[in-house]
């Protein structure tokens, strides 16, 4: 399997793994000038890239937060996890939210998120009158213990 990237802008950075066992490829901002993101605001940050997972149709690209940005600076994808469907060929854009109390500046080339390739299952769907019973049943939101 190969993950192909097309540069849409000259200053786009082709993602790479930072270590031998990294699960995600770092996505970088592709900006003409620095962008200041006010506290509590969200901005769509372009990467200057489009992508294709060559030949593999049972996988999806997922855009996750970089843990260091999220925990230290309060910058994470606004939708928590971005889903890039197999047939999407447009620009990869990260809707970055600033949950901190301070404005944050994003510059061209800054690593803003990580891209992970994940297998997917697409089961046939059907309506049912009943579902099988389990020990848990309909219990949710803390039903298995508070911690």
Q: Which residue has the tokens 């390739």?
A: 117
Return the bridge partners of 4, or none.
Answer: 52
Q: Is the pTM of this model over 0.85?
A: yes
Query: What is the full per-residue pLDDT of the chain (147 aa) written as tens digits?
Result: 899 999 999 999 999 999 999 999 999 999 999 999 999 999 999 999 999 999 888 999 999 999 999 999 999 999 999 999 999 999 999 999 999 999 999 999 999 999 999 999 999 999 999 999 988 888 777 666 666
pLDDT at residue 110, as a whole number:
97
Q: Which domains does the chain have, with CATH numbers?
A: 2-119 (2.70.40.10)
Residues with Cβ within 8 Å of residue 100, at least 6 apart in sequence: 39, 73, 74, 75
Cα angle 16, 21, 25 (rounded to 5 degrees) comes to 25
Q: Are 91 and 49 in contact (CB under 8 A)?
A: yes
> Would you give the end-to-end CA distance of the chain in angstroms?
40
């Amino acid at each position: 399997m190969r993950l192909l990237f097309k540069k849409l802008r000259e200053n786009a950075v082709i993602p790479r793994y930072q270590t031998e066992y990294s699960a995600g490829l770092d996505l970088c901002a592709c900006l003409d000038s620095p962008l200041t993101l006010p506290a509590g605001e969200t901005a769509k940050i372009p990467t200057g890239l489009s992508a294709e997972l060559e030949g593999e149709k049972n996988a999806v690209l997922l855009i996750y937060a970089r843990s260091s940005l999220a925990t230290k600076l309060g910058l994470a994808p606004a939708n928590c996890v971005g889903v890039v469907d197999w047939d999407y060929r447009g620009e990869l854009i990260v809707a970055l939210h600033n949950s901190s109390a301070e404005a944050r500046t994003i510059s061209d080339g800054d690593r803003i998120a990580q891209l992970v390739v994940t297998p997917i299952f697409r089961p046939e769907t059907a309506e049912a009158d009943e579902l099988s019973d389990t020990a848990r049943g309909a219990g949710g939101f803390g039903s298995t213990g508070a911690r």
